[in-house]
Amino acid sequence: MMSMSKKWFVISILTLLLLAGTWYLYTYQSDEEISEVQINPDVLQPSPGFSETSQIIYQEITLFVIDPQTGSLRRRLREIPEHQELLDKITQTIEYLIHPDSDIQNEAIPEETALLSVFVTHSGIVYLNLSRHVQDRHIGGLSAELATVASLVNTLLFNFQEIKQVQILVEGAEIETLAGHVDCRKPFSKMFLIDS
């Protein structure tokens, strides 16, 4: 049998070896892990010709705006980010429709008209809630009223397959007409005839 002092000596040696081995493995493994996660600075540099905007995919939309020369509706192309939700796409499209360029007002939409909100039902009816200016500042007449409605309805039905009908609201309420001629009590489900 092993004496008590020899037993303690062996246990002490084994403990020291175990501690030394653990320390060696820990420090060796840490160095190895650090070298594995070091990042090559060249990888972080963008490749030539790269820009953040090149990652965005755009959807082309067609706006139906009044041609000031002829007074008829004409198509005008713009782009919106494709990744947006439908409500955001509709909102941005109507904003572009009101102002096809930042300094140009679509003459089909009365001055100072603003889009207050947009709602879409599961059945594909979009509710455009416009400010009172769309009525208060409307120049009147059948042709002008048709141009306003056609500009809004055609733009949405043409660009978004999810939309089946367009209902125009003013300050959150249903209206009979914009200026006394075109019945706006029900949603519009077909595009108007246009010159293009």
User: 0.75 exceeded by the pTM?
Assistant: no
Q: How far is CA 195 from the centre of its chain?
A: 30
The model's pLDDT over 17-67, given as tens digits with 9 standing for 90+, comes to: 555 554 444 444 444 333 233 333 443 444 455 455 558 899 999 999 998
Render pLDDT for 66-110 as a digit per residue (tens, 0 to 9): 988 888 899 999 999 999 999 999 999 999 999 998 778 899 999
Rounded alpha-carbon distances, angstroms, from residue 107 to 73, 86, 104, 179, 180: 10, 26, 9, 15, 19
> Measuring CA to CA, which residue among 115, 119, 96, 99 is closest to residue 107?
99
Residue 114, phi-psi category: left (phi > 0), alpha (psi -120 to 50), beta (remainder): beta
149 has a pLDDT exceeding 90: yes
Please tell me the distance from the alpha carbon of residue 166 to that of residue 153, in angstroms, as a whole number.
Answer: 6
